[in-house]
Structure 1
Amino acid sequence: MALFEKLQYYFGFPFVRYAFIVGVLIALCASLLGVVLVLKRFSYIGDGLSHVAFGALAVASVLKLTDRMLLILPATIFTAVLLLRGGKARIRGDAAIAVFSVGALAIGYLLMNVFSNSANISGDVCTTLFGSTSILTLTRGEVWLCIVLSALTLLIFTFLYNRIFSVTFDESFARATGVNTDLYQTLIAVITAVIIVLAMNLVGSLLITALLVFPALSAMRVLRSFRGVMIYSGVLSVLGAVAGIIVSILASTPVGSTIVVFDLLLFLIHLVIGRARE
């Protein structure tokens, strides 16, 4: 009863309700997208794009932009399109991700140290990288933006399921059957960038990959169908987000890290179940 009363007390604050809504929606969308990225061998793209977003955030801070999303979102989308549609580029795949990831992270941290007027640069960087407090400072407008973008993501995966399935498993065959693979690759890239930018407020730049990869890998340990993996991955991701947020409230732990730990525990459990079935 004491724990229930404590939860009831904290959920009386709007910022806690905002964090809960955004956390669940981002976790759900990231898990669906994670299945596609894992199967396309782009599991680490979340880390690379999150570092690009961090670099864009640093540039926006230096330029003193009122709405930083005006720079962060286009920069991240542009990079996502370059990575997922590398084509005949000389540097592709994990090498390209590494170049963007390390380069953007270094430039961002350098700019924040050289040009920042903040008295607590280490705290600002920690918040951005690990999402320590940013999830608790969401405005009503940011929550509605997350709701709208999450709804669009779910609609895209629902109505374009067959096309996404074909592009994910056999892009060459999909192109031969008349599917505009370039269009769907671009669409996946844009969705990836949007979800990663939104997820920065939840778990920070360094932990975003966990939201994309852990639920997908957990579902793949016990299921084989693409549809089943996507649905079950969403269930596991939402479960991890809910449990992580509640525990972080009760135990006063960092929200992002707590969610990732729960996702890791679920993965280990499903890894054992998968081995037992084999």
Structure 2
Amino acid sequence: MNLIDILAYGFIQRALLAGTLIAVLCSVLGVFLVLRRMSLIGDGLAHVTFGSTAIALALKLYSASSLLVSLPVVLLSSLGILKLTEKARLNGDAAIGIVSSLGICLGITMASVGGGYNVDLLSYLFGNILSITPEEVWISAGLFCLVMTLLVLYYNELLAITFNEELARVSGVATNLINAVLVLLTALSVVLAMKLVGIMLISSLLILPAASALQLARSFRACVVLAAFQGGCSVVAGILTSFVTNLPASATVVLINLLFFSCAFLLRRLRNPSATA
């Protein structure tokens, strides 16, 4: 079977379109999160997504309908992490851990109430991008446009708080608002990435493209572009490879991202042998 035959399948077309949009989104946001040492927020919100998905499935809501439950729960949880950091004198990792624990406990409880870990819940845990529906593609496209628009509008402010939040605050930047925008955008991306790589691997899609780009880029803009490019390429290559080899698409996408990171790291070492690991 050649490439043209593979691309003729509707489910492959939907997976490539939605997957590329989601990957680009996560990769761009990942640059801000990695530089701010907030990359684990993706993992914490993924656990909350597990809990919200378990609630949706217990209520017999499936596919696009489950997003109606996951989106508000994960958005509120992201703000909860931010407020715990600001008001409870906790470091970001501690706040993420608290909310993450709550999400996991809720998920386990609701999975038990709903009859255990059925096939639907497992597909959300480990990803199943090839089963994405046309409605989910439209939702992904709409949220992609929303998030990218907000990123463009608040780009300078996000850049300012990424490198020096205190300086940004005294310069007049509404840092509390911008922090809220960043965590809300991350929450949206985490929910969208649920079908692409699964709840268990969401953080890898936020971290790996950004980490690879940081090995090679010489400017912040170049880093964002490289991360987005890698994220999109990894999804396309991962989906096509998984279809041909009959491997899980989510794991294949992450493995390709790991390969890209290894190549970027080695290239950096070759370009600058004196650089530290």
Q: Could you tell me how far apart the structure 2 residues matched to 1:87 and 1:75 are?
A: 20
Q: Which moved more, 1:158-167 or 1:43-52?
A: 158-167
Summarize the Cα distance change of 1:122–1:61 in structure 2 as closer, same or farther, 3 Å threshold. Answer: closer
Residue type of the partner of 2:152?
Answer: T
Residue type of the partner of 2:249?
Answer: V
1:244 offset after TM fit, Å? 0.5
Q: Could you tell me how far apart the structure 2 residues matched to 1:158 and 1:8 are?
A: 35
Residue type of the partner of 1:14?
Answer: G
Aligned to 2:46: 50
Q: Could you tell me how far apart the structure 2 residues matched to 1:20 and 1:166 are?
A: 34
Alignment length (residue pairs): 269
Q: Could you tell me how far apart the structure 2 residues matched to 1:243 and 1:192 are?
A: 24
Aligned match of 1:15 in 11, 20, 37?
11
Q: Could you tell me how far apart the structure 1 residues matched to 2:105 and 2:248 are?
A: 25
Aligned to 1:80: 78
Aligned match of 1:150 in 141, 144, 148?
144
Structure 2 contact 80–99 (Cα < 8 Å) conserved: no
Q: Could you tell me how far apart the structure 2 residues matched to 1:95 and 1:29 are?
A: 26
1:65 offset after TM fit, Å? 4.4
Residue type of the partner of 2:138?
Answer: W
Aligned to 1:109: 108
Alignment of 1:85-234 (within 5 A): 85=83, 86-116=85-115, 121=117, 123-131=119-127, 133=128, 135-234=129-228
Q: Could you tell me how far apart the structure 1 residues matched to 2:89 and 2:169 are?
A: 23
Structure 2 contact 81–99 (Cα < 8 Å) conserved: no
TM-score normalised according to structure 1 size: 0.91
1:122 offset after TM fit, Å? 5.0
Q: Which moved more, 1:265-274 or 1:107-116?
A: 107-116
Structure 1 contact 83–92 (Cα < 8 Å) conserved: no
1:124 offset after TM fit, Å? 3.5
RMSD over aligned CA atoms reads: 1.7
Aligned to 2:246: 252
Aligned to 1:70: 68
Q: Could you tell me how far apart the structure 2 residues matched to 1:232 and 1:200 are?
A: 23
Query: CA offsets per residue over residues 143-180 of structure 1, 9 Å max, x none?
Result: 11111111222222233321110021111111111111
Unaligned runs of 5+ in 1: none
Give the % identical residues: 38
TM-score normalised according to structure 2 size: 0.91
SS in 1 for 2:60: coil
Unaligned runs of 5+ in 2: none
Aligned to 1:237: 231
